[in-house]
A and B are shown apart, each in its own frame.
Chain A
Amino acid sequence: MAEKKWMPRWFYQLASPRWCYGITGKLLPIFAPLALALLLGGTVWALLFAPADYQQGNSFRIIYIHVPSAILAQSCYMLMAIAGAIGLIWKMKVADMVAKSCAPIGASMALLALATGAIWGKPTWGSWWVWDARLTSMLILLFLYFGIMALHAAIEDATTAAQSTAVLALVGLVNIPIIKYSVEWWNTLHQPATFKLTERPAMPAEMWVPLLVMVLGFYCFFAVTLMLRLRHEILGRERRSGWVRELVEQR
């Protein structure tokens, strides 16, 4: 029996849609106010109190949307691929649903990062778009999200759709290191990474602390939207099971 214990118990419990619906219901009231507070606080701090950049003036403040959305677009892809792999290996329905719920959120984050980047690029680089390694790899990420969503929509059977998109997501995973290192491998116009685990950020603390708050706020916001989508997905797929009927009758 000892060899069966290498996975913690909560991992198996997460596999049950009913348990997962319950735990997300408890987590939502924690994450939703946290996301709201962090995003509101971070935005006010970033727009009103952070000092202006000595070269770019106030136009640099779009970094407080651009960087968090770009980070999130990549994390979301990672989560989608990992959840897809878990679904493929352990045939876990909830993992499939997490992967499915990730795709539209990630696509909108990638779109937001590209749009804010274009708005930022106009005053600083003088053009909306350059065919730069970082920008192109980010555009590929957006296309990958579109492809995954299209494949999901094309396959009727939910299990087959989840497995097929998981394979595609795993194949597309090669793009993530390319995005990450594009600013180091190629001579690009795009500046290098803002946050690194090993070094202190290149900007002063008054600038990067609100950015960190915004990044955390985006992550909390992502958690909230993911849980909402997941709960919706669970109810849709489990609509024939007893506990969902009971839940509906209680309302």
Chain B
Amino acid sequence: MSEMATNKPATQDRRRPGTFRAALKRDLLLAFRNRRDLVNPLVFFLMVATLFPLGVSPEPTFLAELAPGLVWVAALLATLLSMDSLFRADYEDGTLEQALLSPQPLILVVLARVTAHWVMTGLPLTLMAPLLGLMLFLPSEGMPGLMLSLLLGTPTLSLIGAIGAALTVGLRKGGMLISLLVLPLYIPVLIFGSGAVQAAVTGLPLAGYLALLGAMLALGLVLAPLAIAAALRISVSG
């Protein structure tokens, strides 16, 4: 109730859209200042895709068949790898505690954080995916499906991953645990994402897969910030 006393309701309502914008601006600025972190998931994405032809078989027809799943698995692992650091720096320097204490709704701050994360990892991964498609001999008919499915799927991956990151932020060895918590929830996104690419390759309609990916994104956008905010409150206060 103390926040109600300091902020007049009228001004608070006008400020709310500002919270998201200010938090997003701050997070993006911080991310752009540390460009090394931006590059790491992309390099990882590229390296994982290199492992498969060398480890399994360099045969073009064989790789073309596997390509939709391989690109999606690589994108999923790259997102997962970048998750551990999502809240860690803010947790260690106390910014996260300030965000929890501030009268602004934590959900918006968290949503801005995830949006910034997606702009720095999911979006570049989506833009880089055609290159991986070429490396793995994905037929050119599959490219639009690949990019569209990644465009709709990677934000969901960021949102789900942030729940795991929020739950483990106070723990020393969070990295391995995040994978355990988050991977089961990633499976549906993977199924429909790679399904969409496969459908695009064989010339089947994409709309059903994309609609399901969009539905998961809509559900995630509404519900995941609530879970992330609750998890952060538990992790930081505990």
Contacts and interface: CB of A to CB of B under 8 A. Distances in A.
Contacts, number: 61
Nearest to B224: A171
Q: Which of A143, A155, A171 has the most CB of B within 10 A?
A: A171
B167 A146 contact: no
Given A140-B187, A172-B185, A155 B238 contact: yes
Interface stretch (A161-169, A205-213, A221-229): A161-169
A20 to B, nearest CB: 24
Interface residues of B, number: 23
A249 interface: no
Given A136-B187, A167-B163, A178-B188, A147 B235 contact: no
B102 to A, nearest CB: 21
Which secondary structure dominates chain B's binding surface?
Answer: helix
A164 B180 contact: no
Interface of A: 88, 136, 140, 143-144, 146-147, 150-151, 154-155, 157, 159-160, 163-164, 167-168, 170-172, 174-175, 178
Given A147-B180, A157-B238, A167 B167 contact: yes
Contacts of A168: 163, 167, 181
Interface stretch (B16-24, B79-87, B104-112, B226-234): B226-234
A164 B188 contact: no
Q: Which of B173, B181, B237 has the most CB of A within 10 A?
A: B181
Given A143-B184, A163-B238, A167-B231, A150 B163 contact: no
Contacts of B183: 143
B234 A163 contact: yes
A170 B219 CA distance: 14
B126 interface: no
Contacts of B167: 151, 164, 167-168
